[in-house]
Amino acid sequence: MNKKNIILSVTIICWSLISCNKKEFLDERPDSDVFVPTTLEDFQTLLDNYEKMSVTPALGELSADNYYLVPSFWELLSTKEKNAYIWTPDTYNGEGKIADWNSPYEQILYTNVVLDGLKKVTISPGNRQQWEHLKGAALFIRAYAFYNLAQVFALPYDAATANTDLGIPLKLTPNVDEPIKRSTLEQTYLQILNDLKEATELLPDSVSDGNRNRPSKPAAYAQLARVYLSMRQYANAGLYADSSLQYYSTLINYNTRDVNAPRPFDRNNPETMYQSRLIENNVLKGGTTIKDIIVDTALYRSYATNDLRRVLFFSTSSGNPTIKGSYNGTIFVFTGLATDEMYLVRAECRARTENIAGAMNDLNHLLQQRWKTNTYVPYTAQTANEALNIILQERRKEMPFRGVRWTDIRRLNLESAGIIPRRKINNQVYTLPVNSPLYALPIPPDVTL
């Protein structure tokens, strides 16, 4: 059976949490002769489905402060996008079929099919490695989806309240009769961490050169670093960032990129460990081509003239700075895992533990690859707090439109950062107060729990 039919069959026969009424789904049983994936090759085909498995929610990035919209263009957006932009409590206005929720749960459905199917495969010396890699990949992708959902639909992790704050539904099997309910935030993060830690024991040591949507050990360590950073558990975040870099630490010298190219980076660029992108049906998809999606002015002005990120990340051909290119190599916005993020995570965590020299070494090693040759003057810092402030500033400049800014605002405001996103539409000013409950977007109205 070909790849398309395998994927279609799985979608037909499996139950998902995707915005549908459970009873309605159960009333539509598939025919008995529908193909069921059973082989390792079938499972690999499911996980390699890039169009489905490598998309992440856009609502967090839409709600963050990296950009602003021309009011006349904002008026043309969908209800979801208009309301996310100004943080309206009723984001969907009764509309359902929200891809930010549906797509990650579809990924979870696929991974649960694989994990369940692998239990029925007899392991032999000849297939053990492939079996382990597939299980590790399924665990990684499930954890990746759970984490991305938690960044949008649950409050930021706070150890003091995580046992009572609501997390997300944790669908762990393809069983149609499994009761589904929201977990606590503590349970949500524990599941994410457990999946990723098990994955690190199973995944290959090397990043795939030609298929960077296949997970690897360095990518799993990188995702663990990202998760722990969002939890503000900085010792663990630094540990896993270091582990990731021990396996894979390649950086791109931006002097080797064509600043005039419309897409300066390709999808298999050597810095990327795991490839993912924002879902397609969001306004930022057009950020590379629409002049009315404008990069935040303060952000753009923070880049020095000799900083190549200024011309590789953004275009000013329309008069205002707009999104130019990303590590996805297309018009889509990259949200995956790359080594630059790991240098920044390790630098931040070193600064927080008073390792000023180590923090500055990491930051300067990265930035030397970003500036025009022989123009970069290394940062210095006298105190850990000074080092931390520099690193956080450079983190935002290094990873705009990478799907991390919303999470950063949430976690840093728990540490009294005082970041207050602001919009202005038709002379009306909208703000999102520090630690507002609106930092968790509502679950779509058509989801039955």
What is the secondary structure of 270-281 as a DSSP string?
TTEEE--EE-SS
Average pLDDT score over the chain: 91
pLDDT tens per residue across span 192-249: 999 999 999 999 999 998 889 999 999 999 999 999 999 999 999 999 999 999 999 9
Mean pLDDT, rounded, for 158-184: 92
Is the pLDDT score of 9 beyond 70? no
- Angle between the N-to-C axes of helices 128-153 and 217-230, in degrees from 0 to 180, rounded to the nearest 10: 20
**Span 254-308, pLDDT tens digits:** 999 999 998 999 999 999 999 999 998 788 876 666 889 999 999 999 999 999 9
Closest CA to 57 of 151, 170, 143: 151
Confidence bin at 23 (pLDDT 50/70/90): very low
Residue-level pLDDT at 321: 94
Single out the residue of 320, 370, 315, 317 nearest to residue 340, CA to CA: 370
Residue among 104, 102, 337 nearest 227 (CA) = 337
Q: Is residue 286 part of a domain?
A: no
CA atoms of 296 and 287, how far apart (whole Å): 12
| List of residues 6+ apart from 93 with CB closer than 8 A | 79, 83
Burial group, residue 69, by CB count within 10 angstroms (0-12, 13-18, 19+): buried
Say if residues 264 and 324 touch (Cβ distance below 8 Å). Answer: yes
Residue type at 276 in one-letter notation: S
pTM of the model: 0.94
Number of domains in the chain: 1
What confidence tens digit (pLDDT) does each residue in 129-156 have? 999 999 999 999 999 999 999 999 999 9
For residue 302, the tally of other CB atoms under 10 A from its CB is 14
Tell me the pLDDT band of 346, cut-offs 50, 70 and 90: very high
Q: What are phi and psi of 422, to 5 degrees?
A: -140, 140
What span, in angstroms and rounded, lies between the C-alpha atoms of 291 and 394? 25
> Do residues 274 and 226 lie in contact, with contact meaning Cβ atoms separated by under 8 Å?
no
305-332 mean pLDDT: 92
What is the mean predicted confidence (pLDDT) over 402-424? 97
- pLDDT given at position 12: 42
Q: Which domain holds residue 206?
A: 3-256+334-439
**Total length of the chain:** 449
Domain contains 11: yes
How much of the chain, in percent, has pLDDT values that exceed 90?
A: 84
Asked if residue 284 is part of any domain, the answer here is no
- Residue 288: the pLDDT is 62
Rounded-to-integer distance, Cα 183 and Cα 116, Å = 22
pLDDT tens by residue, 83-100: 999 999 999 999 999 999
**DSSP class per residue in 120-147:** TSPP-TTTHHHHHHHHHHHHHHHHHHHH
Residue 175: pLDDT band (50, 70, 90) is confident
Residue 299 resides in a domain: no
Helix (H) or strand (E) segment spanning residue 323: strand 322-323
* Domain assignment of residue 312, yes or no: no
Q: Is the pLDDT of residue 14 over 60?
A: no
Region 333-353: what's the mean pLDDT? Answer: 98
Does 303 map to a domain? Answer: no
Give the pLDDT band of residue 3 (cuts 50, 70, 90).
low
Contact 134, 204 (CB under 8 A): no
CATH at residue 56? 1.25.40.390
Chain segment 25-61, per-residue pLDDT in tens: 323 333 334 457 999 999 999 999 999 999 999 999 9
Task: Tell me if 251 is assigned to some domain.
Answer: yes
276 found inside a domain: no
- Cα distance between residue 311 and residue 162, in whole Å: 41
Distance separating alpha carbons of residues 158 and 4, to the nearest angstrom = 42
